[in-house]
Amino acid sequence: MALHWLLGGRASFPIANVEDEPPGGAVTAIVVSAVLLAGAVAGLLSARSSSRRAPIGLVVATSTAALGTFGLAMSGVGIIATGSVERPFALLAQLFALVGALLLFGTTQVQLRRRRSRCPRCGGCHPVALRPDAPLVRGTARQASTRTRRTAYLVLLGLLPWASVKVVWGFGGSALGVTPDEWRVAMDDTDVSTLGRLLEHFGIDITVVASLVGVLLVLALLQRWGLYVPRWLVLLPAWIGGVSLPLYGVPLAVWGSLTLAGVTPASSDSEPFTPTGLAWMVLFGGAAFAGLGTALAIGARSYQRRSQPLCALP
């Protein structure tokens, strides 16, 4: 797929406008394609290598595959919000990148464990797996450390400005120079699922509901009760959001901040916002995505360590 983009194709390109052209044009496409191709080559050369540098190549490959999932979490929210898949080939490419990232992550983990003389199966201090069929047991369920929980809750505060604006509009108030009627007209011009329309009648924005689900997932990752949920059911969506949301949110936050500071020009097409109001909304949205994604990544890392099953010692 990356080779297709490098040769000028744009089908399923992960970042594209309505004309399927990436921001920055061909330069962006070349850079993204070159990075993904470099990761693919690194993965192929390192997967079966016994060289000391093999784990480095696998880390590079895993990172580039993770970058290929850019926008996957937003694609999921878009499907819920609109009830349709806007760019099916792009979604397929993101899912392929996700599968590749998961497989490469597992391979990297096994390689690193072997080099540290640890069990490749569970990461325990015994150097080799006791038996291929040895049972794996979990330790005592415990919540994340106080420092981890405080850090995750702190970055989650990035959701508040964005969610507050959406709630104000939903309950009939004006925010960022936009009245509730203007916001409603703007929303009527977009595709919204039946569930989204139903929630709108009660003044609830479906994306706010989706963010609350994300907050619940963060709590499951940090609290003791989350360890009683099947491990994959918590970690898979957490790592998807933890990787793709910051990749989406940080550039938005940077662009909004630079626009407000006068470094970059404001958008000329900002209806129903004023140019300044749009910059604030972009900044709020970027902070929300980056904050939620960072909290998910922090929680997923802690949860993965606390829930790691170990080989049962004889």
52 and 100 part of one domain:
yes
Q: Are residues 55 and 180 in the same domain?
A: no
pLDDT for 8:
58
Residues 101 and 151 grouped into a single domain? no
Q: Is residue 138 part of a domain?
A: no
Q: The tokens 């609350």 sit on which residue?
A: 212
Task: Of 287, 243, 250, give the one whose Cα is nearest residue 73.
Answer: 243
pLDDT at position 18, please?
Answer: 46
15: closest CA among 95, 110, 90?
Answer: 90
Task: State the pairing for strand pair 310-311/136-137.
Answer: antiparallel
Q: Could you tell me the end-to-end alpha-carbon distance of the chain, in angstroms, rounded to an integer?
A: 48
Spell out the per-residue pLDDT of the chain, length 314, in tens: 666 555 555 555 555 544 555 555 566 666 767 777 777 777 777 766 667 777 788 888 888 888 777 777 777 777 777 777 777 777 787 888 888 888 888 888 888 887 777 777 777 777 665 566 667 777 777 888 999 999 999 999 999 999 999 888 888 888 888 887 887 777 766 666 677 777 777 777 888 888 999 999 999 999 999 988 888 899 988 988 888 888 888 888 998 899 888 888 877 776 788 888 888 988 999 999 999 999 999 999 999 888 888 777 66
Q: Measure the CA–CA gap between 87 and 14, rounded to whole angstroms.
A: 10
Give burial (CB, 10 Å; 0-12/13-18/19+) of 129. Answer: middle
* Closest residue by Cα to residue 217 from 296, 307, 298: 296
Domain shared by 10 and 85, yes or no: yes
Q: How far is residue 56 from each of residues 109, 116, 117, measured CA to CA in Å?
A: 11, 14, 17
Same domain for 163 and 273, yes or no, is yes
Q: Does residue 182 sit in the same domain as residue 306? A: yes
pLDDT value at residue 58: 80
pLDDT at 180: 78
Q: How far apart are CA 160 and CA 165, in angstroms?
A: 9
Residue 157 and residue 102 share a domain: no
Q: Which of 162, 15, 157, 2 is nearest to 75 (CA)?
A: 15
Please give the model's pTM, rounded to 2 decimal places.
Answer: 0.81
**pLDDT, position 264:** 83
What's phi and psi for 311, nearest 5 deg?
-60, 135
Total structural domains in the chain? 2
Residue 197 counted as domain residue? yes
Do the domain assignments include residue 184?
yes
Per-residue pLDDT, 73: 75
Are 256 and 158 part of one and the same domain? yes
Q: By residue range, what is the domain housing residue 56?
A: 2-116
Please indicate, yes or no, if residue 132 is contained in any of the structural domains.
Answer: no
Same domain flag for 237 and 165: yes
Same-domain check for residues 105 and 223: no
